[in-house]
Amino acid sequence: MAITEKEFQLMKDYLREHSGITLGDGKEYLLESRLTTLMVQNGCETFTDLHKMLQAGTEPLRVKVIDAMTTNETLWFRDDSFFSVFEKEIVPRLIKRASMGKVRIWSAACSTGQEPYSIAMLIDHALGRSPSVPNTRFEILATDLSPSAIFMATSARYSQLALSRGMRPDFKDRYFNENGLAYELDQKIRAMVTFKQFNLMDSFALLGKFDIILCRNVLIYFSDELKKSIYGKLSTSLLPDGMLALGSSESPRGITDALTSELLAKTAFYRPAQGSGGHSQLYGQRK
Ligand SMILES: C[S@@+](CC[C@H](N)C(=O)[O-])C[C@H]1O[C@@H](n2cnc3c(N)ncnc32)[C@H](O)[C@@H]1O
């Protein structure tokens, strides 16, 4: 269904307000290709009809439209160098902390589950060398705006094609069981992760504080103004010595003062800026 310039602006504003996703110029085709079926199903002949229906406040339609407009591209161990540092530098320190209490990790835009499950597998694998620390000491919260992505993540069943995108062969053998056309993730890993639908535009206050937050490859779709607000909320959701990981092309530099960077083996992690309190026994020297 073709979209006019005025309709593009209306839909663009609607999406930004409700999801943070900011469509750039020339992205009319995204709305046309992703929403046409939904429009037909809802009897909308034009994008103006759809916008009116959305404004009338029908919650299920809003959820479906936003779900259709999310880009859920992900893979296992996305970005080799990041996961290599995570495995070698962060996991041993988290295990040390877990020997004293709970460790909380948040995958803040988890898509279909590959990111939090990659983390859970790395931790479980490393725990094999520290059998005195049970994996129940690790709480991994995984959230996403998209209900269909959360549904798939919770099912923990992946196609051969999905597994071929980044899965380590040793982990495939160890953590997946073939069942018909799908590969099912081991219950032990599934139990480490709790999935929940959550919009990064909302308050983070009820989520508590985290040792590690991953917010990777999602804020690239947001305006600088929204990034600033979300970086601020992420900073206050970190424990004083907690760390934030962003996607390899992302940086809060020039957008917010709420975070300071620290390089671990050439990979940038971010901490709450000085003044947010904190100490540094766990993760090494603060700048
Ligand atoms: C490209 S995926 C990145 C997944 C994973 N973090 C990775 O790096 O592979 C971006 C995810 O962000 C989610 N997303 C977009 N806007 C969001 C919002 N306002 N709140 C929470 N999640 C959002 C999308 O549904 C999508 O699953």
Between the alpha carbon of residue 273 and those of residues 94, 200, 228, 283, 285, the distances in Å are 21, 21, 14, 15, 14
Q: Is 113 in the pocket of ligand 1 (CB under 6 A)?
A: no
What pLDDT does 275 receive? 62
Q: Are residues 21 and 89 in the same domain?
A: no
**Four-residue CA torsion sign, 127, 130, 131, 133:** negative
What pLDDT does 277 receive? 43
Provide the number of structural domains found in the chain. 2
- The two beta strands, 157-159 and 259-264, are unpaired
Q: Is residue 93 part of a domain?
A: yes
Ligand 1 test: best mutation among 80, 114, 145, most atoms within 8 Å of CB? 145
Cα–Cα distance, 122 to 148 (Å, whole number): 26
Contacts of residue 87, defined as CB under 8 A and 6 or more positions apart, other chains included, come to: 122, 126
Cα–Cα distance, 179 to 157 (Å, whole number): 9
User: Over the stretch 85-136, which tens digit does the pLDDT of each residue have?
Assistant: 999 999 999 999 999 999 999 999 999 999 999 999 999 999 998 888 999 9
Q: Are residues 31 and 120 in the same domain?
A: no
**At 41, which CATH number?**
1.10.155
Q: Is 149 in the pocket of ligand 1 (CB under 6 A)?
A: yes
Ligand 1 test: best mutation among 23, 144, 200, most atoms within 8 Å of CB? 144
Q: Are residues 47 and 93 in the same domain?
A: no
Q: Is residue 156 part of a domain?
A: yes
Q: Is residue 285 part of a domain?
A: no
What pLDDT does 285 receive? 38
- The two beta strands, 176-179 and 182-185, are antiparallel
* Residue 60 CA, distance from chain mean position: 23
Q: Are residues 95 and 14 in the same domain?
A: no
Q: Are residues 158 and 201 in the same domain?
A: yes
Q: Is 82 exposed, middle or buried (CB count within 10 Å of its CB: 0-12, 13-18, 19+)?
A: buried
Q: Is 218 in the pocket of ligand 1 (CB under 6 A)?
A: yes
**At 142, which CATH number?**
3.40.50.150
Q: Which atom of ligand 1 is nearest to the CA of 149?
A: 27
Phi, psi of 194 (to 5 degrees): -110, 125
State which residues of the chain have pLDDT below 50.
277-287
Whether 242 contacts 210, CB under 8 Å: yes
What pLDDT does 25 receive? 92
* Residue 87 lies in domain: 80-272
Q: Are residues 43 and 106 in the same domain?
A: no
User: Where do the DSSP E strands lie in 154-284?
Assistant: 157-159, 176-179, 182-185, 193-197, 210-215, 238-246, 259-264, 267-272
Q: Are residues 146 and 58 in the same domain?
A: no
User: Over the stretch 183-212, which tens digit does the pLDDT of each residue have?
Assistant: 999 999 999 999 999 999 999 999 999 999
Q: Is residue 40 part of a domain?
A: yes
